């Protein structure tokens, strides 16, 4: 079934169309959320939120962008909401620790992406830790390109930016990652 | 020695930066659709029964506002009525006092005898 047929079936409320959409997109959405959130449970919950949002707002989808672009946009927006919520919790936990109350630690521990090759696990862990420290837009652009494998042109459409802006985000993301990883290895490297 | 350390660190940085080359896509967990369906039933199911309209935020806010207005109005009305009652009570007491403990001026005419 092509996208326009799928959208029209979704808009008419066909459950089979929704099931097909989830089957088609669940891995792409989950992988995007996982790359951004670096936690399996959060990524699954976020992926569910994405499909619930798609179900709720499919009638307002006018087809101005590709269906995949629209779904990736929802996935990045929902993931960023979770990241912001985590930051708020972290600030709250910090305030609680100042007041002597030991709250739950919301820090994400070393993350292993299931698609990383075995021999790259340690390096990828360092890289994911550094990705977690990037500013939001650099993090989204880098994750969509390196984790989800989207070409720059599709990232432009998802983020609603020009090609030069995405190139600039990727350049700055790489520079920031190199700096962060350098600091990490200068502290932890044993030759 | 220090130079070698720097070279090793640079090598590690490059290895880390290239570590996502050939990365496979993570697959959604098993029974993803079943869990999604269950959550959608929970999240999207309309509230049934006489209070179903409360699930709509517009109605909830409207009802809450009406409740607040009625409450505030009642407080004003009660406090207004209370003042009237107090004034009435004071007037009754004054008339009672005047009746039983009236000033001697009222009987001043008797002093003439």
pLDDT band at A103 (very low <50, low <70, confident <90, very high): very low
Overall average pLDDT of the A110-117 stretch:
92
pLDDT band at A105 (very low <50, low <70, confident <90, very high): very low
The alpha carbon of residue A99 is apart from the nearest alpha carbon of chain B, in Å, by 36
Report the percent of chain A where pLDDT is more than 70.
Answer: 93
Q: Do B25 and A27 touch (CB under 8 A)?
A: yes
- B11 has a pLDDT exceeding 60: yes
The shortest CB-CB distance from B20 to any of A28, A124, A178 is to: A124
Residue A152 sits at φ, ψ, to 5 deg, of -55, -40
Complete DSSP assignment for chain A: --HHHHHHHHHTT-HHHHHHHHHHHHHHHHHHHHHHH--HHHHHHHHHHHHHHHHHHGGG--SSS-HHHHHHHHHHHHHHHHHHHHHHHHHHHHHHHHTT-------------TTS-GGGHHHHHHHHHHHTTS-HHHHHHHHHHHTS---HHHHHHHHT--HHHHHHHHHHHHHHHHHHHHHHHHHH---
Contacts by A121-126, CB closer than 8 A, 24 or more apart? A123/B12, A123/B15, A123/B16, A123/B18, A123/B19, A124/B16, A124/B19, A124/B20, A124/B23, A126/A181, A126/A184, A126/A185, A126/B16, A126/B19
- Measured CA to CA, the distance from residue B13 to residue A187 in angstroms comes to 13
Give pLDDT tens digits for B59-97: 788 888 999 999 988 888 888 765 656 667 777 777 777
Q: Do A127 and B20 touch (CB under 8 A)?
A: yes
Q: Which residues of A79-118 are buried (b: 16+ CB within 10 A; e: fewer)?
A: bbebbeebeeeeeebeeeeeeeeeeeeeeeeebebebbee
The shortest CB-CB distance from A181 to any of B16, B29, B35 is to: B16
Higher pLDDT, A168 or B74: A168
Query: Under CATH, which number does the domain A1-109 receive?
Result: 1.10.1740.10
The shortest CB-CB distance from A30 to any of B9, B26, B40 is to: B26
Q: Tokens representing A191?
A: 């030759």
Q: Which residues of A133-166 are buried (b: 16+ CB within 10 A; e: fewer)?
A: ebeebbbbbbbbbbbbebeeebbbbbbebeeeeb
Q: Do A186 and B9 touch (CB under 8 A)?
A: yes
pLDDT band at B53 (very low <50, low <70, confident <90, very high): low
Model pLDDT, residue B54: 65
ipTM for the whole predicted complex goes beyond 0.90: no
| Contact B26/A at CB under 8 A | yes
pLDDT band at B35 (very low <50, low <70, confident <90, very high): very high
What count of CB pairs under 8 Å joins A to B?
Answer: 105
With 0-12 / 13-18 / 19 or more C-beta atoms within 10 angstroms meaning exposed / middle / buried, residue B70 is: exposed
- Picking from A71, A70, A75, A69, the residue whose alpha carbon sits closest to that of residue A32 is A75
pTM: 0.75
pLDDT band at B3 (very low <50, low <70, confident <90, very high): confident
- Measured CA to CA, the distance from residue A38 to residue A115 in angstroms comes to 12
- B106 has a pLDDT exceeding 60: no
Q: Which residue of A has its CA nearest to B41?
A: A52
Chain centroid to Cα A117, Å, comes to 20
Contacts of B9 in chain A (CB under 8 A): 182, 185-186, 189
**pLDDT mean across residues, chain B:** 79
Q: Do A127 and B9 touch (CB under 8 A)?
A: no
Model pLDDT, residue A162: 97
Which among B8, B20, B22, B37 is the top mutation candidate for probing chain A, defined by the most A β-carbons within 10 Å of its own β-carbon? B20
Which among A56, A57, A112, A113 is the top mutation candidate for probing chain B, defined by the most B β-carbons within 10 Å of its own β-carbon? A113
- A104 has a pLDDT exceeding 50: no
- Picking from A123, A127, A29, the residue whose alpha carbon sits closest to that of residue B32 is A29
Higher pLDDT, B96 or A165: A165
What residues does CATH 1.10.10.10 cover in chain A? 110-191
Q: Which residues of A56-66 are buried (b: 16+ CB within 10 A; e: fewer)?
A: eebeeeeeeee
Query: Under CATH, which number does the domain A110-191 receive?
Result: 1.10.10.10
Give pLDDT tens digits for A46-99: 999 999 999 999 999 988 899 999 999 999 999 999 999 999 988 887 777 777
Q: Do B20 and A28 touch (CB under 8 A)?
A: no
Q: Which residue of B has its CA nearest to A120?
A: B19
The alpha carbon of residue B54 is apart from the nearest alpha carbon of chain A, in Å, by 19
């Amino acid at each position: 079934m092509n996208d326009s047929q799928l959208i029209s079936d979704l808009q008419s409320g066909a459950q089979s169309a929704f099931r097909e959409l989830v089957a088609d997109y669940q891995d792409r959405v989950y992988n995007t959320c996982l790359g951004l959130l670096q936690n399996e449970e959060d990524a699954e919950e976020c992926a569910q939120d994405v499909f619930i949002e798609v179900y709720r707002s499919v009638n307002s989808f006018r087809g101005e962008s590709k269906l995949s672009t629209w779904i990736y946009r929802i996935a990045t927006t929902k993931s960023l909401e979770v990241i912001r919520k985590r930051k708020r919790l972290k600030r709250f936990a910090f305030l609680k620790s100042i007041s002597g109350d030991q709250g739950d630690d919301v820090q994400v521990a070393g993350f292993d992406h299931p698609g990383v090759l075995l021999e790259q696990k340690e390096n990828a862990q360092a890289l994911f830790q550094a990705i977690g420290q990037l500013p939001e837009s650099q993090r989204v652009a880098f994750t969509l390109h390196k984790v989800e494998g989207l070409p720059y042109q599709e990232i432009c459409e998802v983020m609603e930016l020009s090609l030069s802006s995405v190139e600039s985000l990727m350049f700055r993301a790489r520079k920031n990652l190199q700096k962060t990883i350098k600091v990490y290895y200068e502290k932890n490297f044993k030759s | 020695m220090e130079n070698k350390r720097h070279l090793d660190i640079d090598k590690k940085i490059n290895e880390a930066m290239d570590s996502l080359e050939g990365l496979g896509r993570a697959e959604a967990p098993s029974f993803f659709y079943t869990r999604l369906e269950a959550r959608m039933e929970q999240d999207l199911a309309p509230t049934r029964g006489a209070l179903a309209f409360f699930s709509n935020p517009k109605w909830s806010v409207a009802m809450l506002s009406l409740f607040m207005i009625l409450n505030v109005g009642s407080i004003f009305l009660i406090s207004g009525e209370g003042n009237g009652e107090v004034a009435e009570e004071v007037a009754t007491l004054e008339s009672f006092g005047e009746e039983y403990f009236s000033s001697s001026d009222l009987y001043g005419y008797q002093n003439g005898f």
